[in-house]
Amino acid sequence: MNKKGIIKIFEAAISITLIMGFVILIYSQGIEKPRESENILKWQGSVLDQIKDDPSFREIIMRNEGACGENPNLADIQSFINDTMKNTFPGFSFTCRVCNSSDICGIPVYKPEAFSEERIVSATLTEFSPKKIRMFMWQQEEA
C-alpha cells in the first residue's frame, strides 16, 4: 500500500477542517451584531410606546417641538429616557426630537451608526394634530 497517499489525504482533510472552523468562527461573530441592533430597536420602541401612552408626556409632546437637549420643556422626557437607558444600554448616548408628523425629524449631529425609532402621538380622537417623537441611539466614542 501507498502510505504517502493516505497521509496526504489525511493532511488535506485536517486542513479543510481547520479552514472551515475558522470560517464558522468568523461568521458566528458577525451574526451577533444584528441581534444587538434588534434589541436596541425593540427597547427604543418600548420606551417610545411608554412615552406616547403617558398622558403627561403626550401633553408635553403636543405643546412642544425640537430636540430634547435643546428644548427645556422636553427635559422630563429626556430624563425618563436617560433613567431607563443607563442600566439597559451603558456606553450608549441618545437624543430625541419632537416634530410635526409630516416633517422629517433628523438627527442633530451625524453619527456613523445610529439606531432610530419613532412614534406618532395624537392628543384626542376629535382633534387631529399629530406630532411624532423620534429617538436616536448610538454607541459612545471611547476617548
Has this prediction a pTM greater than 0.75? no
The answer to whether residue 32 scores a pLDDT higher than 60 is no
Going by pLDDT thresholds of 50, 70 and 90, the confidence category of residue 118 is very high
pLDDT of residue 44: 92
Region 78-107 average pLDDT: 87
Three-state SS annotation for the chain: CCHHHHHHHHHHHHHHHHHHHHHHHHHHHHHHHHHHHHHHHHHHHHHHHHHHHCHHHHHHHHHCCEECCCCHHHHHHHHHHHHHHHHHCCCEEEEEEEEECCCCCCCCCCCCCEEEEEEEECCCCCCCCCEEEEEEEEECCCC
pLDDT of residue 108: 75
**Domain map of the chain by residue range?**
33-139
Q: What percent of the chain has pLDDT over 70?
A: 90
Q: Which residue has the higher pLDDT, 1 or 61?
A: 61
